[in-house]
Structure 1
Amino acid sequence: MNVHRRLAATGGALLALALATAGCTSSDDDAATAAASSSAAAKSSAEAAAAKPIEWQDCSSQIDPIIAGRPGADRDLAFQCGTTTVPVSYADPTGGTLQLFLVKATLAGQANRIGSLVVNPGGPGQSATDAAIQSALTLPTDVLGRFDVVGVDPRGVGLSDPAVECISDQQKDELFAADPRATDAASLATAFGRVDAVADACATKYKDALGAFDTVDTARDMDLVRQSLGDEQLTFLGYSYGTTLGSTYAELFPDRVRAMVLDGAVDPDAGLQQSAEAQAQAFEAAFDAFAANCLTLVSGCPLGFDPRLFVTDLLTQTAAAPVPSSRPGEIRQATPGLVLEAVRSALYQPSAWPQLTQSLAAARNGDAAGLLTLADSYTGRNDDGSYTNVVDANVAITCADTDEEFTQQQVSALVTDWGTRYPLFGADAALGLYTCSAWDAPRTPLPDRDAAGSAPILVIGTQGDPVTPVVGAADMAADLTSGVLLTWQGAGHTAYPKTECVTAAVDAYLIDLVVPQDGLTCPA
């Protein structure tokens, strides 16, 4: 099983603990029972779903200690946490419900408030409430002066209830530690068996209710939240998978879009195989950029004259003898799977390249602490060995959104082919195609999305994005009737608000609805 998108959550585990301690979340609901009972009500209903009030509580005292010391923490911010309910089945809006968890951040001194800026960080499976907190620290104050920033953990995600949890910590440790480059028949049979075991566990726990965690219904949830927030139209900022959610919302409710920024667009025209191969190729290119950067260091590259060879040798070394860690209490050792998770994690942003360089060099010298830290930040593993539910939610949502399937024979052939053409990331990308083939749950495939009738939608792509290759943004903008494309010639995953050119264009669009010229290119 391969989860290709960014999994880490910034402070999610701490936020969950703090809020649960403060009594802001429930902890005794049986997630499987709650979802299954409501999903069973599949009969059609003429009654439309009604938006429910949001029950807000001030939670600044819980969040302030979490953000202390971070850049932007000196801003005069107030945080509120809230819950609201939505139907599990929109075919039967009066049936069972799910509880969504929200965080709203407000900067003191707002003037001429426009409304709410709803943010989603992608994944799928990342916590949007964490994203709202982080956005309050990093978004331009011009934007914060006009909008409250609101994050809603989607159905099945984070602090929303029930959150999908059906993959054990032990299974996750095994999945991430396994050598994804192993292409022999025995290794592949073991890999397929792990995926089958995960699918069986999730199907046993949730049964058909597992199909309720889909993007189409999450987009419907988002419209109820918009109404509950008191906004006539939606202003939305979505990253990565958040662009899939946003464009789905625009397709369902085109007249309700005020402004929508889709940054790091997931290609709506690519099937699972095309998308996985494009991402493997993009990660290989990102690694080459990382290696080239290392070779320019004045002090010399700690990985030698060929960083790719260095990593290949380290993978061979850890396959034969996993590398221990000096981290106190750590009993794991770095295997090829964890080495590649660490590399993938750092390739998301060039700012992490120095950390990756030092961690790889340290591992070659016998200490894998740095690599395990990078890998854990990617997979959502906590210091105590537990995991967030980001992996569970990622797989559940991804598989609910597609009806594509691949046989083990097809996947095995691609593992061999891609493993040769994309030596670091190809085999893993191919193996990931089997994940949804084993998934036993109802599917709600994503709709074609042209969002005819919508206000202009700003789509952003980054030339050196390893996660959502820039062609996806071009395709998204072309598909959307009102799509406007902005390209950043930079590197890393997503662009706003990293550079002045992109930031100025997005700010003017969000605040004053000034749409940049279609095809605008911003320099690196």
Structure 2
Amino acid sequence: MDPRRMLRSSVLAVTAAGLLLSGCTGTDPSNSSSVSTPEGGGSGSGTSAAPVAELKPYYAQKLAWRECGVPGFECSTLKAPLDYEKPQGESIKLAVARKKATGPGARIGSLLVNPGGPGGSAIGYLQAYAGIGYPAQVRARYDMVAIDPRGVARSEPVECLTGKEMDAYTQVDQTPDDPAETNRLTTSFKAFATGCEKRSGTVLPHVSTEDSARDMDVLRAVLGDRKLAYVGASYGTFLGATYAELFPDRAGRLVLDGALDPSLPARQVNRDQTAGFETAFRSFATDCVTRTDCPLGTTSVADASARLKEFFAELDARPVPTGESRELGESLATTGVLTAMYDENAWPQLREGLASAMEGDGAGLLALADSYYERESDGSYTNLMYANAAVNCLDLPPAFSRPQDVEEALPDFEKASPVFGRGFAWAALNCAYWPTPATGTPHPIEAKGADPILVVGTTKDPATPYKWAQALADQLASGRLLTYDGDGHTAYGRGSECIDSAINAYLLKGTVPQDGKRCR
């Protein structure tokens, strides 16, 4: 398992998008005839906003759009301050893409989308799914827009390791059994952090979620929208909520799907996720044991859980071949299993991968793990995991400061998940060695004065447990909770007509579903 909070939208089907935000208060986000200028922002917990005058050049810039390889899409570059406290200093270039509203019907405005991560490419998501797969009536009336957050993909990406170094990193034993293995794990964390500082030291202190939220406001103004319309999934919900906190008067129709609870410290976030993946695995196991091809047995969920834990221990002692130079050990196998928890449509693939691995062929589980890490066929990696660590370690103080802290917390994590608890606990140690101190702190987000904000939660979501959506909806002064009773990570665009119609109605008409509405 990778030592970072797994807050991504589905990696197996690009169908994990966000939902939609609440109704508007009678103002359409497209009703803007002039470019907005900054007004300072709300009550964010990080860096203070720069004086209005010093940011005006950024808010007044014009984007030069060009074709960018995918038919129907245009790309451009947005400039923003590298450091919002020093806006007259160095700037950063951020990649932007859009697909114009197709009609019929009057254009409403721009709809920004973010698939989560942190570290997921919003532009890649727009071009692969949102710009072509969102409901036709939404694409007809909105310009579909994406900005790769700073440090991500096309926006001055954080870089840390070579492909070979990353291969080695993903195979380090993350359930150490003795001091020597603990030392190897902490050494790998330190080497990862050192690589990030060496290759990306300039941008590393300036990739917080608050920085990216401020970038979104610059983009909103440059696009000519008076208010932001936004669909954010997974980590994208924290980005959207942070925007609403900073700029409540500019928060329009915001949809936060697969929500985070911003009030939680990092240790609790990791512990809650441990329980979330346990819930998802038990749902998988409940289905698996009813099938004759279940590699974990056909008796009970408890027996399936015990068999998987036993299998991981076997791989820890004796990795199996995969048909290439990398073997399948416990760490990669765990990541492969967890990957399939994001989307129940991957369960058949997981059953097959587990069965093959138990017979000595680890290729199937390795493929699942590679899809999570975004490892390319040539052995290179996207910068997803590098940006993921950079943002997470800047947004919250570390969960643990030393290995002894992890050891003391192990019983609590193993209670949350007998199968995955040890790995999640040790994974949470990575930010202890991060070269840049955290600038964010856990705190509730109220966003007083914002239009109604739609928060969406899935009851068996592994990566963003349902109680987080409940908590965020309660914290937000204008929060409205929409619930999907089901499996998988996020809800919009994943097969529920009830969910999709509620979100579409909000985006198109500003109609807010009844608070607490539930869908199956």
Matched, 1:304 2:300: no
Give the counterpart letter for 2:90 in structure 1.
G
Which TM-score applies when normalising by structure 2?
A: 0.86
Instruction: Check the 8 A contact 1:9/1:126 in 2, yes or no.
Output: no
Amino acid at match of 1:5: M
Which 5+ residue runs of structure 2 have no aligned equivalent?
Answer: 15-47
Q: Give 1:457-472 correspondences, 5 Å limit.
A: 457-472=453-468
For residues 244-255 of structure 1, the aligned pairs below 5 Å read 244-255=238-249
Matched, 1:510 2:507: yes
Partner of 1:54: 63
User: d(CA) in 1 for partners of 2:214 and 2:490?
Assistant: 25
1:355 aligns to what?
349
Structure 1 position 484 matched with structure 2 position 466: no
Q: Distance in 1 between matches of 2:320 and 2:349?
A: 18
**Alignment CA distance shift 1:494-1:11 (3 Å):** closer
The match for 1:282 is: 276
* Range with bigger deviation, 132-141 or 143-152: 132-141
Q: CA 1:405–1:469 in 2, change beyond 3 Å: closer, same or farther?
A: closer
| More contact order relative to length (CA 8 Å, sep ≥ 6) | 2
* Superposed displacement of residue 178, structure 1: 2.2
Map of 1:392 onto structure 2: 386
Letter in 1 for 2:513: P
Which residue, 123, 132, 151 being the options, matches 1:129? 123
Who is 2:29 aligned against? none
> 1:63 is matched with which residue: 70, 73, 77?
70
Distance in 1, matches of 2:250 and 2:54, equals 17
RMSD (Å), alpha carbons: 2.2
Point out the more displaced range, 434-443 or 411-420.
411-420
C-alpha deviation, 1:174, in angstroms: 2.5
Contact 1:462 1:470 in 2 (8 A): yes
Once residues 43 and 470 of structure 1 are traced to their aligned partners in structure 2, the CA distance between those partners, rounded to angstroms, is 33
Unaligned runs of 5+ in 1: 13-41, 65-77
Q: What amino acid does structure 1 have at the position aligned with 2:469?
A: A
The structure 2 residue matched to 1:456, chosen from 425, 439, 452, is 452
- Which whole-Å CA distance do the structure 1 matches of 2:397 and 2:261 have between them? 17
SS at match of 1:63: coil
> In 2, Cα distance between the equivalents of 1:416 and 1:512?
49
- The match for 2:262 is 268
Shift of 1:404: 4.1
Aligned-residue offset at 1:189: 1.9
Identical positions, percent: 40
The answer to whether the 8 A contact 1:250-1:454 is kept is yes
* Residues 1:368 and 1:405: Cα distance change in structure 2 (over 3 Å): closer
In the alignment, structure 1 residue 213 sits paired with structure 2 residue 207: yes
Distance 1:45 1:108, change over 3 A: closer
Please name the residue that 1:316 is paired with.
313
| C-alpha distance in 2 between matches for 1:485 and 1:386 | 40
**3-state SS, counterpart of residue 445 of structure 1:** coil
> What CA distance in whole angstroms lies between the structure 2 residues aligned with 1:129 and 1:43?
27
Aligned counterpart for 1:229 among listed residues 223, 237, 247: 223
Deviation at 1:10? 8.1
Structure 2 contact 174–427 (Cα < 8 Å) conserved: no
Aligned-pair distance for 1:47? 2.9
Please tell me whether the aligned partners of residues 121 and 131 of structure 1 are also in contact (alpha carbons under 8 angstroms).
Answer: yes
Which moved further from structure 2: 359-368 or 107-116? 107-116
Partner Cα separation in structure 2 for residue 43 and residue 342 of structure 1: 42
Structure 1 partner of 2:18: none
CA contact (8 A) 1:208 1:441 kept: no
Alpha-carbon spacing, 1:209–1:137, altered in 2? closer, same or farther (3 Å): closer
| Partner of residue 429, structure 2 | 434
- Amino acid of the residue matched to residue 439 of structure 1? W
TM-score (norm 1): 0.86
- 1: distance between equivalents of 2:448 and 2:49? 29
Q: Which residue of 2 aligns with 1:26?
A: none
Q: 1:513 to 1:252 in 2, by over 3 A?
A: same
Q: Are the counterparts in 2 of residues 54 and 228 from structure 1 also a CA contact under 8 Å?
A: yes
**Aligned position for 1:36:** none
What amino acid is aligned across from residue 195 of structure 2 in structure 1? A
Does the aligned pair in 1 maintain the 2:11–2:342 contact within 8 Å?
Answer: no
* Secondary structure, counterpart of 2:230 in structure 1: strand
Structure 1 position 210, deviation (Å) = 1.5
